[in-house]
Amino acid sequence: MQRLQRPSVLLWDWDNTLVDGWPGITAAMNAAFVAFAMAPWSVEEVRQRARVSVRDAFPALFGDQWQRAREIFFAALAEQHLDHVRPMAGAAEALRAGSSWPQAVVSNKTGRFLRAEVAHLGWAALFGAVIGAGDAREDKPSAAPILLALSQLGTPSDRSIWYLGDTALDMQAARAASVTAVLVGDASHDGGVERARPDFHFADAHAVAAHLRALA
């Protein structure tokens, strides 16, 4: 693991990095599963299995009926996701500490739901770009959404940019975009730190906040 360079830009993943929205996602997933007479997943199973975006995940789950399943999922998510979304411990502190730098969100949550959650939490003014699934030509682990966020910020990709996330897929996307891959948390839901192979690792958002305050 390399020495962490001072950042020029902070790019954040959303679910399980800045917010806990898993109950809402789980309810929407299970609405689709019930409609297709499939066994529901627990919140923990969704946390462990939900990595890629809906457009990448649903064809494998639902076959040629995936578009109908997607409609059911989105309808259920729209109905209740704002009731469930909560900041992760230390997330608001980390965002305040990061306010000395340009910040953006890059998530595999569908863009319209992502932006609704950002607004619901009162965080819209913190971010120069909010990129969700479907906004770029491909979703994470492709570099495309990270590069789209940087283009909206007017910043070229380089190693001084941090992408902070909680999974191996986030770290893969960061490497694809040639930015620094920063893991937040122990990734125990995704095979651990060793599987994620981050450039740098923080134990939690509180640790990120403390480091950013020291740099600022």
pLDDT tens string 107-116: 999 999 999 9
Question: Average pLDDT, stretch 25-46?
Answer: 93
Domains 9-20+86-215 and 22-84 share a fold: no
- What CATH topology corresponds to 9-20+86-215? Rossmann fold (3.40.50)
Split at pLDDT 50, 70, 90, the class of 1 is low
Whether the predicted pLDDT of 204 surpasses 80: yes
pLDDT tens string 110-159: 999 999 999 999 999 999 999 999 999 999 999 999 999 999 999 999 99
Domain ranges of the chain: 9-20+86-215, 22-84
Mean pLDDT of the chain: 94
Question: Average pLDDT, stretch 64-85?
Answer: 93
For the chain, percent of residues with pLDDT exceeding 70: 99
Question: CATH top-level class for 22-84?
Answer: mainly alpha
Whether the predicted pLDDT of 80 surpasses 60: yes
Q: Which residue has the tokens 């960061």?
A: 174
